[in-house]
Amino acid sequence: MVAATVAGLGCLVAAGVASSHDMATMNGMSANDMSSMNHTMAPAAMGNSMMHMENHMRMTDLRSPAPNDEARAREILQTLRGSLARYRDYRVALAKGMRIFLPGIPQDVYHFTDYARTGQEYQGRFDISHPGSLLYARNPDGSYTLVGAMYSAQPDATPDELDAIVPLSIARWHVHTNICLPNDLTIEDLLRNDVGADRAGLPGMLPVSAGSYAVELNHRYGFLADGRFGFEGKISDARTCNATGGHLVEQAFGWMVHVYPFSGDDLKVAYGMDVPKLSGDTASASR
């Protein structure tokens, strides 16, 4: 049943910024110097960053507008603004059984997923008012602000099938492609929030010879530490992936689309790929 539920995750997490050979330059640095690098060394989020994304994402083409497309898109926004109000307190989502995907990895947006509902979406059973995943931004204090939602569809969904859910003249659905994972890890492991952080020497980890900070990053980020692997990793072809101890996932999950109903009435923003910055009033109301 995992295959029927993984589609709701989308926008998972990028690989780290640093590469393993770059870590050699860290030798001799003080602990304070290394600590100051934490923000740039940590895995980046798959939201606004487009590094390597041309190799890891396929998107639907924008269609010419049909007469009712804009009205349909605005109806979705209006519906979500009402139906998601209860989840402005992220603890309600958790109490409903939604699970956070990779909560320990820095991301632009965190997916709180209802696996049963996402499985229904995968089977073509959609309820626009109850999307399979909710999207949250994490605040400095560890709480979360509701920013949007995500719908999913089966991997072989046709453009017409996707258009019937969210119009292709308004939104661009996407799938994640050419994902290199270490041989010892699978998509199912990631669904269990296992990035191999408790394993030593897993492909994708930084060389421990780089010092204690490399060990810390390995412990926190597992195979995402050195930037080669993952959904925005530098590796996107099977030969290189196999040679570095990995296996290539040609397509991870099904089709997915993000909707940001609290960003205002601009459809390009509400159905855009970037996570919108909410105003202070909107952000406060969403907590």
Contact 151, 164 (CB under 8 A): no
If pLDDT is split at 50, 70 and 90, which confidence band does 282 have? low
* Residue 82 scores a pLDDT above 80: yes
Return the pLDDT at 209: 87
Q: How many CB atoms lie within 10 A of CB 100?
A: 19
Beta-bridge partner residues of 256: 152, 174
Contact 265, 137 (CB under 8 A): no
Contact 208, 232 (CB under 8 A): no
Contact 84, 132 (CB under 8 A): no
Contact 247, 183 (CB under 8 A): yes
Report the candidate in 136, 48, 128 with the shortest Cα–Cα distance to residue 92. 136
Question: Kindly report the CA angle at 231 between 145 and 60, in degrees rounded to 5?
Answer: 85
Q: Name, in order, each residue with C-beta under 8 angstroms of 127's C-beta and a sequence gap of 6 or more.
A: 117, 120
Q: Kindly report which listed range (2-6, 195-199, 206-210, 242-246) carries the lowest average pLDDT score.
A: 2-6
d(CA 94, CA 158): 33
- What per-residue string of b and e applies to 253-265 under the rule 16 or more CB within 10 Å gives b? bbbbbbbbbbbee
* Residue 12 scores a pLDDT above 70: no
* Residue 105 scores a pLDDT above 60: yes
Q: How many CB atoms lie within 10 A of CB 141?
A: 6
Please identify which residue in the block is written with the tokens 């909560």: 103
Return the pLDDT at 8: 36
d(CA 16, CA 19): 8
Quick one: DSSP state of residue 230? Answer: B
Alpha-helical regions (H) of the chain: 2-5, 31-35, 38-41, 69-83, 90-95, 115-122, 159-165, 187-191, 212-221, 238-243, 267-270, 280-286
Q: What's the domain range around 267? A: 2-286
* Residue 286 scores a pLDDT above 60: no
Given the DSSP bridges, would you call strands 133-138 and 57-59 parallel, antiparallel or unpaired?
unpaired
Percent helix, percent strand, percent coil in the chain, to nearest 5: 35, 15, 45
* Residue 29 scores a pLDDT above 90: no
Contact 113, 93 (CB under 8 A): no
* Averaged pLDDT, 32-49: 35
Report the candidate in 187, 147, 188 with the shortest Cα–Cα distance to residue 275. 147
* Averaged pLDDT, 100-113: 92
pTM: 0.81
d(CA 217, CA 43): 10
Average pLDDT, rounded, for the chain: 83
Share of the chain above pLDDT 90, in %: 69
| Per-residue pLDDT reduced to its tens digit, 173-204 | 999 999 999 999 999 999 899 999 999 889 99
Task: Count up the domains in the chain and report the number.
Answer: 1
Q: Which two tokens stand for residue 33?
A: 């110097």
Distance between alpha carbon 234 and the CA centroid of its chain, in Å? 17
* Residue 50 scores a pLDDT above 80: no
